[in-house]
Amino acid sequence: MESISSRGEKLSTLKLTVVQYGILFMMLALAGQLWRLQVLGAENFRMLAEQNRIRKVPILAPRGKLFDRENRLLVDNYPSVSCFLVREQNRNVDADLPLIARGLDIDLEQLQATLRHYRAAPGYQPIPIKQDITADEQAFIQSHRNELPELETIDEERRLYPRDGFASHLIGYVGEVSEEDLNNPRFAYYMPGDVVGKGGIEETYDQLLRGQDGSRDVIVDSRGREVGFLRTQHATPGQDLRLTIDEDLQHAAELALGDRNGAVVAMDPRNGEILALVSRPSFDPNAFAVRINRTDWNKLITDPDHPLMNKAIHAQLAPGSTFKILMSVAGLQEGIAQDMKINCPGGWGPYGYFHHCDEHHGAVDIHDAIPYSCDTFFYMLGDRLGIDRISKYATEFGYGQKTGIDLPGEQAGLMPSAQWKLKNYRARWYPDETLDVAIGQGAVAATPLQLARIIGGIASGGHLVRPHVVFPDQLPEDFRKALPETFPGSGNVDIPIDPDNWTIITDGMYQVTQPAYFHTAGSAHLEGIDFGGKTGTAQTMSHDALSRLGKSKNNNPNVWFVGVTPRRNPELVVAVLWQNGEFSYYPARIGAKIVSAYVEKQRRLAHNLVPVKTAAPVVMSAVWTGANPSGGPGKQNDSPPRMQGGSFLVQNGQIVARTTSDTHSAAQAVRKSGTESAGGAKPTAIPTQQAVTQLAKTRVVSPVKPQ
């Protein structure tokens, strides 16, 4: 007790008052916040509390299907069940993970990584943990409803791609949107876990194909069990797309290229519709539709042959002798090549270094230079043109520029010029370098698609087109308008080529596939088909390096072929690239197979071998101008065009007999029916009901439309 010396001392009243006011202030501050939350914010917080109890169960929109140009199904969907983990309930999911991993056959670490990945996502969003689960795994989830209430299954539509990597590079694949993508403003409307198109059409047209997911809003209790149902927001399926691809030709191209490392592009040069697009090696896009496992993925991305690369638009390689077509255009348009008659002694070396030619061609002019692919001729032509003129023509026709195809990641290739060298190497252009460029070597690089567009355009007399794989008429207005901005390129251009020059070049290309001495692709000859083209052999390393290393498959030259049919104003241009393929007549044969598949199909369609039932003959009247029917329908003569008329017995679309020839009455019949007669050299039969009944002498069954 003695130690307590403070008896009688008192606390300062001032200090106690300070404390009292301090506590009062504190209580008022707390009450003030309560007022803010409970009186002012009550409405808002009641809503939030309500949302706590509403769970959104997603209804996933089926992706749009892909059809070929003849409306044959290429990419479909199939129903599948996915397992999701719902974090709504306030329970420690981590403890359940080992059981979940075992039951669903997932790697535990991978599962934990998935959960970490979604930590930042809003709580109501379910985490996809396994896709396309089996019936056994579904049974596991059903039987563990009580232990694992956080597991939820969702029915969805999953992508079904053609087998064996058919058109895989063209179509692309789908996968979960990646974290980097989510940071990209282009993916502003995507949530983690969303499926997104990657590569090919799936990527370009993802916005249309994906549709709009819906949801079922259900009320859950504190355990996350569904106790009530609020509303359904239906999913909007993605838009189906019709591609310009012809499934038959795609098949032919896939088979023709086989397992060779390279690419094939087949395009209609009149309008830029891609009919077939193949790249090798291929991959199975179905492996991506369900999450691809790490080993398979690593195998795909580390493969030296780049299976995921669409070589038709991504591979930028020296075009080799296919560049000589452009050289010929430049030489002829500049009026130089016509008069060049040179002697090929097996090469040329005006600047000290001897440039080889494959053969000793002897006397060569422009007509032989293309089928012979005579390097000496083009060395000399290139030397006379100079790099500036070559580069001007090449750039004009699209070398070194993207074509603007509606596929992601197209490469521009490269067209060197004196300025280019000055800018990039700070060095002057040496005339000797022009000789390499003249035969498509040196720094020149092009993609197979570029070559198809350029050579197809030259064969069309300078009508160059923008390639595309989806018919634009089915696209929404704003999407269609945005496409040229999203995929910039040289697009549709007309560069008139002098008809004489055009004839020389296309005839030269025709000669390439004619079997004759020195012709580079005589073995790709197709009997009865107007088929031309140009081969190309591009060394992958210099002659010196080659002689040091010796011959092996890996340093074989890349070989090219670009073919057209028919030779002038072609309907089809095919570019074939075979990497390390050694001889350029190999890709020419591949191209020939595709060309013949195309021509055969067109002939089959033209002849329309569909059987027709035999019908009774029908009397029909017709009027036409120009042709004299006495010579029989379809025959041309030199008489001046005048209006004629007649009535015929028609059976199965064929005229079997002529009954009358009455120009006046036929013209009258036309005037009565108000139909305008049309037609040129060929007679156009116009049946009119009045005429048929008026002139019917025999039994009239029904008017059959003539073919």
- Residues at the interface with another protein (CB under 8 A): 1, 3-13, 15-16, 19-20, 23-24, 26-27, 29-31, 33-35, 37-39, 41-42, 44-46, 48-50, 52-53, 87, 89-90, 119-120, 122-123, 221-223
Residue linked to tokens 């008026």: 694
Of 27 and 681, which has the nearer Cβ to another protein? 27
What spatial distance separates the first Cα and last Cα of the chain, rounded to whole Å? 129
**Residue 52 CB, nearest approach to another protein (Å):** 5
116 backbone dihedrals φ, ψ, rounded to 5°:
-60, -40
HSE value, Cβ hemisphere, 13 Å, CA-based, for 692: 18
Closer residue to another protein, CB minimum distance, 49 or 606: 49
53 or 421: whose CB is closer to another protein? 53
Q: How many whole angstroms separate alpha carbon 562 and alpha carbon 588?
A: 8
φ, ψ of residue 555 in degrees (nearest 5)? -110, 15
DSSP assignment string, 612-628: ------EEEEEEEES--
Min dist. Cβ of residue 244 to another protein (A): 47
In the complex with another protein, the residue whose CB is nearer, 53 or 306, is: 53
Question: Does residue 224 contact residue 151 with C-beta atoms inside 8 Å?
Answer: no
If DSSP codes are grouped into helix, strand and coil, which group holds residue 422?
A: helix
Output the smallest distance, CB 147 to another protein, in A: 16
DSSP 8-state class, residue 354: P
CA distances from 50 to 36, 43, 113, 135 (A): 19, 11, 31, 35
Smallest gap from Cβ 2 to another protein, in A, equals 10
Considering the complex, state which of residue 24 and residue 549 has its C-beta at the smaller distance from another protein.
24
Burial 210-236 (b: 16+ CB within 10 A, else e): bbebbbbebebeeebeeeeeeeeeebe
The H or E element containing residue 326 is: helix 323-333
CA distance 62 to 80: 11
CB of 186: closest distance to another protein in angstroms? Answer: 24
C-beta of 36 vs 672, nearer to another protein: 36
Max Cα-Cα span within the chain: 149
| DSSP classification of residue 675 | P
Question: Please, which residues bridge with residue 602 across strands?
Answer: none
CB closer to another protein, 50 vs 500: 50
Nearer to another protein, 49 or 610 (CB): 49
Cα–Cα distance, 639 to 635 (Å, whole number): 12
Distance CA 88, CA 150 (A): 8
Whole-angstrom distance, CA of residue 452 vs CA of residue 311: 13
CB of 37 to another protein, least distance (A): 4
Q: Which is nearer to another protein, 118 or 624 (CB)?
A: 118
Distance of closest approach, residue 46 Cβ to another protein, in angstroms: 5
User: In the bound complex, what is the minimum distance in angstroms from residue 123's beta carbon to another protein?
Assistant: 6
CA atoms of 250 and 276, how far apart (whole Å): 5
List the Cα angle 69/72/77 in 5-degree steps: 120
In the complex, the smallest distance separating the C-beta of residue 100 from another protein, rounded to whole angstroms, is 18
Residues 6+ apart with CB under 8 A from 589: 521, 523, 524
Q: 324 near 439, Cβ under 8 Å?
A: yes
Q: Please say which residue, 90 or 552, places its beta carbon nearer to another protein.
A: 90
The helix/strand/coil state of 199 is coil
Question: 88 with 225: CB under 8 angstroms?
Answer: no
Nearer to another protein, 3 or 608 (CB): 3
In whole angstroms, give the CA distance from residue 675 to residue 686. 9
Minimum gap (Å) between residue 191 Cβ and another protein? 15
Taking CA atoms, 285 is separated from 164, 166, 200, 289, 297, in Å, by 9, 9, 11, 7, 12
Rounded to whole angstroms, the Cα distance separating 355 from 366 reads 19
Residue 467 to residue 489: CA distance in whole angstroms: 10
Question: Closest CB to another protein among 120 and 610?
Answer: 120
Closest contact distance (angstroms) between CB of 39 and another protein is 6
Please report, as a single letter, which amino acid is at residue 103. Answer: G
Nearest alpha-carbon partner for 399 in 426, 417, 419: 417
Is the Cβ of residue 220 or residue 445 nearer to another protein in the bound state? Answer: 220
Q: In the numeric block, which tokens belong to residue 213?
A: 């997911």
**Tokens read off for 306:** 């780049």
Q: Which is nearer to another protein, 16 or 656 (CB)?
A: 16
Indicate the residue among 20 and 232 with the shorter CB distance to another protein. 20
CB 127, min distance to another protein, A = 12
- Residue 371 main-chain phi, psi, to 5 deg: -65, -35
Q: Which is nearer to another protein, 42 or 657 (CB)?
A: 42
Please spell the DSSP secondary structure of 290-307, one letter per residue.
SPPPHHHHHHHHH-TT-T
SS3 80: strand
Closest approach of another protein to the CB of residue 217, in Å? 16
Closest contact distance (angstroms) between CB of 41 and another protein is 5
Minimum distance between the CB of residue 219 and another protein, rounded to whole angstroms? 11
How near is the Cβ of 19 to another protein at its closest, in Å?
Answer: 6
